[in-house]
């Protein structure tokens, strides 16, 4: 909010009354985007009592827990609610904002859905604005928005293969009631098509939506300075009169955009990193002096790439990191440094403290590593035989977007190719760098940003191809060429559009028909209410781990270690020692031993419920330990809670929390 206020303050002179005049078609477009966004958000989290869609069930538990640790708890300094006692290692900015909204009185579902719907709408508006500014065609903007909202993969083939015939698959009763994602790699064994190209990542991670808005807004702001509006290839030359016109990026605007970009790190650090790669290449390519620095660029970039290759053969992340930093430094310093340096410096100053904090401090091992080919199995750059696997993977996952973008590179104008190269830099980055411990679950954010931007060129090629065909084929008989071209256009372009959106349309059916589960289950609500009303807001509970929904975190409290183990492990926490310690406490031979084993954990209450008493959860669990002589402060048919301080009167719970 501070960054937004600064931008408004710096740009107040540029606000014009004319800028607020809205055309009826624009109102219709934004209204349609809002309606779609609102419906999409409503499908994931809504109802009374509150329910969540099956495909967003797991991640919702984590994010509601973080948000409620601020609204119903006192999570300061911030720690991960499912791993108490250590500084948080997760970009929690949006969850903090949602918690603040709930604390001000907004229901938790609205605290997530309202910003999510507005953000999703903002992405569609920005995508349209990008396309319209570049090519002055409403049709390109609309198609680009549709491509963002749907899914261009070939997953629809899985749908048709599940029916005995195409006619059977097309029956309304079948596609209207379709209720599951068609392909869910990397979580579906043997399936190459990823779930990350559907809307599922955006619904699971509202912070991805908001961070994408920040990245697109900053990119659009920079692009309007770096080049003027253009037109579609083949137009009269006067359509491109301003295409190469460059406006100086003022220091004030560079500082404001840099601050906004850097502040976006706590929304999603991975999107920030990917966007900075894009901005770096974008500013260099539109610097206006490419020819002057061409030789020096080739020498330095070749040296950086060579060093990177050496690091790859030596399997040295250190060498590769140096090579990557050298490459980025070369592009920044050989670009419009007087304009770009204030932007990059401000973004770095704003992001660096967050980067250190959210990675666990300077002494913590970094999460940036190197990996070949993202999720392409067995891909190696040094193995040409694996290149077919690489091409096949992206063909299955992007469908016709692949050839359309290749055609855009061929038929597009020089100014457009520069933008495409900057966008493809994100793709290259994502295929050699792993930003996070979970290559699929973390790295997809890099490709989500890339996909949004590269779809602009897929939309461009569709419209360009349709126009060229409509004007006729270049044959001697003009009438025959006109009829043939228009016939091909009528047959091919709509078919291409259907192939591009069909998987996404079936995904909408999945959203509509997805099964639902209670967030605050009726069996859980009494325990949640008791915790909210009778425990300190910074209380820590001992529970079983690997129960995705944990009662204390739903009530805004923290647990020693709980939730899905993959969350904490993926953030770099040491989960093994806590798993062993929790098991040892529930398996303690007597109360004294249990109290001793809790020393220094910071645990205030022990939960004994359905999860803790499962026969396979703690095989050595002592069934006579609770209640024993522990002081029980709450009990119902499903959960009991024991006060550690009252039960372990020797003060064994004191000391550093979370050790």
Token readout for 548 is 């995705």
Name the pLDDT band for 411 (thresholds 50, 70, 90): very high
What is the pLDDT, as a whole number, of residue 361? 66
601 close to 653: Cβ distance less than 8 angstroms: yes
Q: Contact 332/340 with Cβ under 8 angstroms?
A: yes
Contact assessment for residue 506 and residue 156, using Cβ atoms and an 8 Å cutoff: yes
Distance, in Å, from the CA atom of 374 to the CA atom of 631, rounded to the nearest integer, reads 52
Enter the tokens of residue 544.
């079983």
Residues of 562-588 as b/e, b for ≥16 C-beta within 10 angstroms? Answer: bbbbebbebbbbebeebeebbbebbbb
Q: Give the rounded percent of residues in the chain with a pLDDT score beyond 90.
A: 79
Range from 4-13, 152-161, 289-298 carrying the lowest mean pLDDT: 4-13
Adjacency order of strands within the sheet including 516-518: 45-46, 51-53, 516-518
pLDDT tens sequence across 59-72? 999 999 999 999 99
Alpha-carbon distance of 539 to 535, in angstroms, equals 7
User: Longest C-alpha distance within the chain, in Å?
Assistant: 99
The rounded distance, in Å, linking the Cα atoms of 140 and 412 is 14
Specify the residue for token string 């409403």.
138
454-495 pLDDT, tens digit each: 999 999 999 999 999 998 888 888 889 899 999 999 999 999
Question: Rounded distance, CA 22 to CA 31, Å?
Answer: 12
Residue 41 sits at the vertex; the CA angle it makes with 35 and 45, to the nearest 5 degrees, is 140
Report the chain's terminal Cα–Cα distance, integer Å: 35
pTM: 0.93
Domain 520-647 has CATH 1.25.10: no
- pLDDT tens string 419-462: 999 999 999 999 999 988 888 889 999 999 999 999 999 999 99
Helix (H) or strand (E) holding 495: helix 478-513
Q: Supply the pLDDT for residue 441.
A: 87
Q: Is 399 helix (H, G, I), strand (E, B) or coil?
A: coil
- What are the structural domain ranges in the chain? 2-46+111-289+335-513, 520-647
pLDDT band at residue 238, thresholds of 50, 70 and 90? low
Q: Please state, as a whole number, how many other Cβ atoms lie within 10 Å of the Cβ of residue 646.
A: 11
**Which pLDDT score, from 0 to 100, does residue 654 have?**
44
User: What was the pLDDT predicted at 444?
Assistant: 94
Q: In this structure, what are the phi and psi dihedrals at residue 136, rounded to the nearest 5 degrees? A: 55, 40
| Secondary structure of residue 548 in the 3-state scheme | coil
**CB-CB contact of 379 with 192 (8 Å):** no
123 phi, psi to nearest 5 deg: -60, -45
pLDDT computed for residue 652 by the predictor: 42
Whole-number Å distance between alpha carbons of 103 and 255:
33
Confidence of residue 651 (pLDDT cuts 50, 70, 90): very low
């Amino acid at each position: 909010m501070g960054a937004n206020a600064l931008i408004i303050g710096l740009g107040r002179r540029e606000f014009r009354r004319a800028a607020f005049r809205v055309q009826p078609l624009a109102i219709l477009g934004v209204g349609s985007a809002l309606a779609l966004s609102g419906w999409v958000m409503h499908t994931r989290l809504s109802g009374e009592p509150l329910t969540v869609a099956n495909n967003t069930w797991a991640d919702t538990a984590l994010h509601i827990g973080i948000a409620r640790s601020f609204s119903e708890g006192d999570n300061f300094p911030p720690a991960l609610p499912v791993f108490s006692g250590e500084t948080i290692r997760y970009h929690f900015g949006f969850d903090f904002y949602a918690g603040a909204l709930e604390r001000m009185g907004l229901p938790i579902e609205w605290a997530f859905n309202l910003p999510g719907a507005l953000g999703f709408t903002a992405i569609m508006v920005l995508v349209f604005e990008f396309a319209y500014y570049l090519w002055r065609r409403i049709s390109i903007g609309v198609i680009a928005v549709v491509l963002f909202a749907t899914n261009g993969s070939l997953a629809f083939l899985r749908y048709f293969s599940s029916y005995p015939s195409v006619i059977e698959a097309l029956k309304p009763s079948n596609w209207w009631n379709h209720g599951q994602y068609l392909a869910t790699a990397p979580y579906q064994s043997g399936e190459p098509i990823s779930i990350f190209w559907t809307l599922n990542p955006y619904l699971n991670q509202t912070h991805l939506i908001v961070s994408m808005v920040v990245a697109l807004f900053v990119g659009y702001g920079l692009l309007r300075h770096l080049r003027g509006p253009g037109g579609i290839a083949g137009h009269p030359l006067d359509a491109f009169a301003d295409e190469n016109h460059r406006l100086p990026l003022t220091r004030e605007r560079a500082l404001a955009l840099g601050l906004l970009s850097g502040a976006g790190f706590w929304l999603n650090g991975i999107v920030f990193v990917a966007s900075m790669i894009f901005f770096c290449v974008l500013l260099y390519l539109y610097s206006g002096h490419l020819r002057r620095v061409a030789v020096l660029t080739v020498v330095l970039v070749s040296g950086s790439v060579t060093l990177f290759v050496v690091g790859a053969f030596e399997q040295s992340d250190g060498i590769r990191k140096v090579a990557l930093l050298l490459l980025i430094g070369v592009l920044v310093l050989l670009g419009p440094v007087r304009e770009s340096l204030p932007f990059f410096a401000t973004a770095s100053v704003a992001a660096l403290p967050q980067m250190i904090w959210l990675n666990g401090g300077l002494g913590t091992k970094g999460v940036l590593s190197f990996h070949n080919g993202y999720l392409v199995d067995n891909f190696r750059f040094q193995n040409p035989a694996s290149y077919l696997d690489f091409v096949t993977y992206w063909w299955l996952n992007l469908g016709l977007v692949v050839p359309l973008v290749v055609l855009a590179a061929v038929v597009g104008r020089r100014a457009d190719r520069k933008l495409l190269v900057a966008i493809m830099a994100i793709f290259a980055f994502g295929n050699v760098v792993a930003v996070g411990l979970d290559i699929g679950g973390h790295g997809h954010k890099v490709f989500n940003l890339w996909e949004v931007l590269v779809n602009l060129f897929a939309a461009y090629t569709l419209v360009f191809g349709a126009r060229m065909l409509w004007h006729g084929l270049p044959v001697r008989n003009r009438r025959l060429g006109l009829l043939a071209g228009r016939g091909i256009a009528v047959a091919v372009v709509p078919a291409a559009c259907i192939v591009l959106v069909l998987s996404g349309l079936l995904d909408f059916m999945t959203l509509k028909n997805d099964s639902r589960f209670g967030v605050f289950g009726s069996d859980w609500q009494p325990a949640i209410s008791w915790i909210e009303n009778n425990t300190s807001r910074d209380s820590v509970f001992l529970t079983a781990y690997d129960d995705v929904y944990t009662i204390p975190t739903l009530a805004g409290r923290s647990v020693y270690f709980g939730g899905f183990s993959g969350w904490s492990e993926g953030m770099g926490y040491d989960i093994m020692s806590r798993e062993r310690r929790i098991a040892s406490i529930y398996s303690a031979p007597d109360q004294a031993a249990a109290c001793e084993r809790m020393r220094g954990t910071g645990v205030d209450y022990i939960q004994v419920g359905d999860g803790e008493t499962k026969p396979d959860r703690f095989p050595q669990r002592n069934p006579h330990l609770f209640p024993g002589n522990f002081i029980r402060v709450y009990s119902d048919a499903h959960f009991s809670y024991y006060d550690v301080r009252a039960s372990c009167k020797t003060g064994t719970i004191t000391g550093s929390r979370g050790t």
